[in-house]
Structure 1
Amino acid sequence: MVLPGDEESLISKFVHDARRFIHKYYQIADRAPLQLYYAGLVFAPTTAIIRNEFKQELPSLIGLLPRVEERWGAQLQALEDSLGSVLSVAFSPDGRLLASGSGDSTVRLWDTATGALQQTLKYYSESICLVVFSPDGRLLASVSKDKTVRLWDTVTNTLQQTLEGHFDSVYSVVFSPDGRLLASSSGDKTVRLWNTATGDLKEILEANTIITKLSFSQDCSYLTTNIGNLVVQSGQVKAASNCSPVLFIVQEQWIILNGKDFLWLPPEFRPNCLANTCDTLALGHASGQVSFIKFQS
Structure 2
Amino acid sequence: MFSLTLSIRDKWDAHRQTLEGHSGRVWTVAFSPDGRVIASGSGHNTIQLWDAATGAHQQTLKGHIGWVWTVAFSPDGRVIASGSDDNTIRLWDAATGTQQQTLKGYNVTTLSFSADGQGLETNKGIIKINPGPSGTNLFIHNNWITRDGRKLLWLPPDSQCVSVYKHMMVLGHRSGQMTFLKFSSD
Does TM, scored on the shorter chain, surpass 0.5? yes
Q: Is the 8 A contact 1:189 1:209 kept in 2?
A: yes
* Aligned-partner Cα distance in 1 for 2:95–2:130: 19
Answer yes or no: is 1:224 the counterpart of 2:118: no
In the TM superposition, what are the counterparts of 1:178-257 in structure 2 within 5 Å?
178-206=76-104, 208-233=105-130
Q: Is the 8 A contact 1:133 1:140 kept in 2?
A: yes
Instruction: State the shift of 1:209 in Å.
Output: 4.1
Match of 1:222, as an amino acid?
A: G
Query: Greater RCO between the two (CA within 8 Å, min separation 6)?
Result: 1
Match of 1:230, as an amino acid?
A: I
Match of 1:131, as an amino acid?
A: V
Match of 1:187, as an amino acid?
A: D
Q: Is the 8 A contact 2:89 2:106 kept in 1?
A: no
Instruction: State the shift of 1:148 in Å.
Output: 0.2
- Where structure 1 has 5 or more consecutive residues not aligned to the other structure, the ranges are 1-15, 24-112, 236-297
* Aligned-partner Cα distance in 2 for 1:221–1:166: 23
Q: Which has the higher strand share?
A: 2
2:140 alignment counterpart: none
Answer yes or no: is 1:132 the counterpart of 2:18: no
Q: Which has the higher helix share?
A: 1
> 3-state DSSP class of the match of 1:177?
coil
* Aligned-partner Cα distance in 2 for 1:234–1:129: 30
> 3-state DSSP class of the match of 2:21?
coil
Pick the structure with greater CA Rg: 1
Instruction: State the shift of 1:221 in Å.
Output: 1.4
* Aligned-partner Cα distance in 1 for 2:122–2:63: 20
2:47 alignment counterpart: 149
Q: Is the 8 A contact 2:37 2:51 kept in 1?
A: yes
* Aligned-partner Cα distance in 2 for 1:116–1:226: 34
CA change 1:217–1:209 in 2 (3 A) is closer
Alpha-carbon RMSD: 2.2
Instruction: State the shift of 1:204 in Å.
Output: 0.7
CA change 1:189–1:164 in 2 (3 A) is same
Identical aligned pairs, as a percentage?
Answer: 45
Instruction: State the shift of 1:118 in Å.
Output: 2.1
Instruction: State the shift of 1:139 in Å.
Output: 0.3
* Aligned-partner Cα distance in 1 for 2:99–2:22: 21
* Aligned-partner Cα distance in 2 for 1:200–1:234: 20
1:245-297 deviations in Å (ceiling 9; x for gaps): xxxxxxxxxxxxxxxxxxxxxxxxxxxxxxxxxxxxxxxxxxxxxxxxxxxxx
- Where structure 2 has 5 or more consecutive residues not aligned to the other structure, the ranges are 133-186
In the TM superposition, what are the counterparts of 1:254-269 in structure 2 within 5 Å?
none
In the TM superposition, what are the counterparts of 1:84-123 in structure 2 within 5 Å?
113-123=11-21
